[in-house]
Structure 1
């Protein structure tokens, strides 16, 4: 039986392997000789060339050094990594991830989970490990953490979060202190506002949603869906309707100071 081939190599991985084979052939090198020169095993090189294994960062750098390719393999590896990460994100969520990077204001209503932009690694790991892609948990956690770098940009977006009280109280005890501390820390950010929607508030919006505004583009909305099957809304009337829903929910939310006190109480009572 032939060895299993990666069923979804990126286009950049295909080019990486093509260049590797071509340059090895032009140099008249067997796999054994090239592997010896690079300090790896011929078995490892064979797995890369037959798509059993993806290329590594170290291999890319070693190939650039050996063949004097001016960073070609490194650039292909970086593009492959970007494509692979993007492929792990559900297709319906990709527009949201792209929009987050360009937005100057993000309004989020969360009825079920701590929003991804504020999750700790442990909380995110628990969320992904209970899903349908357990084998990709660590990669998905890394992607989620990378999305949070928007807060460290020189000009970060304004972020207004409305989150139901039950979400805070229902965090598993082993994550509760860490996750509550994360929320309290981010509430100190000058462009972040977190308000708790109390348990007795008459709010029956069944799904979470986000509103994203941009400097030079029309506002859009994202509505959550099961298993990543959410959708981006661009029709102005739809976006305005959700903006009204957000304002209605905000009208019954606790003020920021009271929300901070509630989160702190939950954390200290754990």
Structure 2
């Protein structure tokens, strides 16, 4: 399905707000290097009775306001990726507002971020229905991949002033998977995509690789435990979890590049695994890297 192009822009007032955010008085009271401390102090400052903390990343605090469908996202002013984050906020709003890809829609599309009296940067959005899943089962992978393909079709039509896309590059989500995909309660149907703050211009295979990397590192044994050695059983599980998205993704077959795109997605998956810290899942990550090297003769 073809969509009309949606042209987005960062207004001068928002650019000025970003440039001036480091002068916020709140910056002087919180160590910007310590995300945990920042979240604690910010929560103490902004939470009211009835508010609910939602899942958020290390650079933001997400609060559902009590008795309403409003969600406030508070941002760390120290983040050096502000231009990218602002674009991600605008993209998520556009996906929900102009395309049938539910996400956190801005309450005021002209104001992706504002500053509170306390010097906090905040984004006001509508609440997005849906629930997280972890780890994904095969039906959830199937539905999530379908939603990813639909999302990519819409993202092809997103453009900002003065930018150009070369080759097969387009806007992609940048962190598709886990809590950024929401499911209809009680079903395996993926219905929404949130948190586009890592959105970049790149190939769709990068998103697919990110998704695969998370599927691999989240692999559980049939008994529900984390694997600790590269057994035949684990290799079979890895293969199932990597084959599903590669087979289900709606590649454009007219371009005749499906095998290359599948290979590229695997390489991106390996890159994510190599470069990210998965905490308690690092042992699984290392097993997945070893398996990818053996299975696909990767020199990484």
TM-score w.r.t. structure 2 length?
A: 0.26
Larger radius of gyration: 1
State the TM-score, normalizing by the size of structure 1: 0.28
Give the number of the structure with larger relative contact order, counting CA–CA contacts within 8 Å between residues 6 or more apart.
Answer: 1
